[in-house]
Structure 1
Amino acid sequence: MSKTTNIALPSMRVSYEQGSLTESDLAGSWHEQLQLWLDQATNAGLPEPNAFVLATADPEGRPSSRTVLAKGLDARGLVFFTNYTSTKSHDLMATRYASATFPWFAVQRQAHVRGTVEKVGPEETAAYWAGRPRGSQLGAWASPQSRVVSGRPVLESALNKVERQFADADRVPVPPHWGGWRIRPEEVEFWQGRRDRMHDRLRFRLGRDGWELQRIAP
């Protein structure tokens, strides 16, 4: 019998003392700053530095979240790709709003992106699709994402069928049910952990006259 250890959750804590964040530290735009922190997280050797927690809600307001990978970033917004029949896509089509959190725990940083969403155009989707590994392309065809299946053999059978279907094809086409979403930010917050929980939180917020910078209490 394995030994069970009860973890004392109330006593678990880390003192954040790796850095600070001032208004003068920030780049001139939210996307330049986010790219800078992504680059620094990558250079620090963090696993999956482009992974973020995507939060959505259904029409009744019931939230759900999952981790996805950022695959595009520019002044227009933050892009990820997925199955358009998935639960998250149904949520996004219903509410047209999402939030994203990059949890870079190892460097005591977070970034939060919140805003409206739009589908990525077919040309941009095709350009990204062309660079995906063939196995990932076949998996996108085979998986009925978010649907209940009776067991793993169902998925393996579906993948085998798709492999046979495209066995003689040099290129696997983009599935009609697959593509990108772009989050067009209304707010982007940069969070730097500080000692005594007096964290630095600086937010780019889109107002009537353009982007403004705000400091938020921790």
Structure 2
Amino acid sequence: MLNLADIRKEYTQGRLDEQTCADHPLMQFHAWFEQYRESNPPEPTIMTVATVDASGCPWQRILLLKGYDDEGFIFFTNFESNKGQHLNDNAQASLHFFWIEMERQIQIQGTVEKISREEAERYFHSRPRESQLGAWASAQSRPLDNRQQLEDQFAQVSQQYEGQEVPLPDYWGGYRVKPQRMEFWQGGAHRLHDRVEYQQHDGQWQKQRLNP
């Protein structure tokens, strides 16, 4: 076994106080997100999205956050992918942001709903044309014999839609995660991290400090 026990780092960049955190978690998220984005990270919107399959086994994957507002957090995918099938059976998900440069994490749990087709079309047609074609070429999460098969499918749809707008596939669109719980984590020295949790109760957000 490779022993990794001696790999450790002290977290000393900041503190998080439940008394001075925003009363609404989306305001706290926005403040932290803007601070992170201003630090010019390579992928400021990167996040982990966790779903649960029919057997109760959790799955995770890295996606990009494509928008957020008072209603929740938006990402896009193929509805027929593994994650799409999971969300069809169990419309709940967890999002996780890990900003190691600032020694911060944000965890979000909530229910999931599809956004409107009109919203999905606006985003789809804002993507690079090659990405639009890729949505048609890839039967996401399904078995693929080899890389060449994927390249051939891409060439086929490129020829099919040459000189015309690429339509939004019926099986592709966006989801909105409507948060019911959010947790903000700031690394602290001696593993005495700061954790502030927000939970919804009767439509109102309540916050409290948690032990690290």
Which amino acid in structure 1 is aligned with residue 110 of structure 2? G
2:51 and 2:83 in contact (8 A); partners too: yes
Identify the residue that residue 200 of structure 1 maps to in structure 2: 194
1:86 aligns with 2:81: yes
Which residue is equivalent to 2:126? Answer: 131
Task: Report if the CA contact (8 A) 1:126-1:174 is conserved.
Answer: yes
TM-score scaled by length of structure 2: 0.96
- Tell me the residue number matched to 2:99: 104
**1:68 partnered with 2:100:** no
SS in 2 for 1:176: coil
Question: What amino acid sits opposite 1:118 in the alignment?
Answer: E
Aligned pair count? Answer: 212
* Aligned-residue offset at 1:25: 3.4
1:3 match:
none
Determine the structure 1 residue equivalent to 2:10.
15
Structure 1 position 179 matched with structure 2 position 166: no
Q: 2 CA distance for matches of 1:157 and 1:24? A: 58
- 2 CA distance for matches of 1:56 and 1:11? 32
Match of 2:154 in 1: 159
TM-superposed CA distance for 1:40, in Å, is 1.2
Runs of 4+ in 1 over 6 A off after TM superposition: none
Q: Is 1:217–2:176 an aligned residue pair?
A: no
- Looking at structure 2, the residues matched to 27 and 125 of structure 1 have their Cα atoms a distance apart, in angstroms, of 31
Name structure 2 gaps, 5 residues minimum: none
Q: Secondary structure at the match of 1:82?
A: strand
The 1-side partners of 2:187 and 2:41 are apart by: 17
> Deviation digits for residues 65-97 of structure 1, max 9, x if unmatched?
000010010110111000000000101111111
2:50–2:59 CA contact under 8 A, matched in 1: yes
Conserved in 2, the CA contact under 8 Å of 1:35 and 1:73?
Answer: no
**For 1:209 and 1:73, how far apart are their aligned partners in 2?**
19
Moved more, 96-105 or 33-42: 33-42
Greater CA drift, 157-166 or 25-34: 25-34
Partner residue, 2:46: 51
Structure 1, unpaired ranges of 5+: 1-5
**Alignment identity in percent?**
41
Q: CA deviation at 1:103?
A: 0.8
RMSD: 1.3
CA distance in 2, matches of 1:49, 1:65: 19
Aligned partner of residue 8 in structure 2, secondary structure: coil
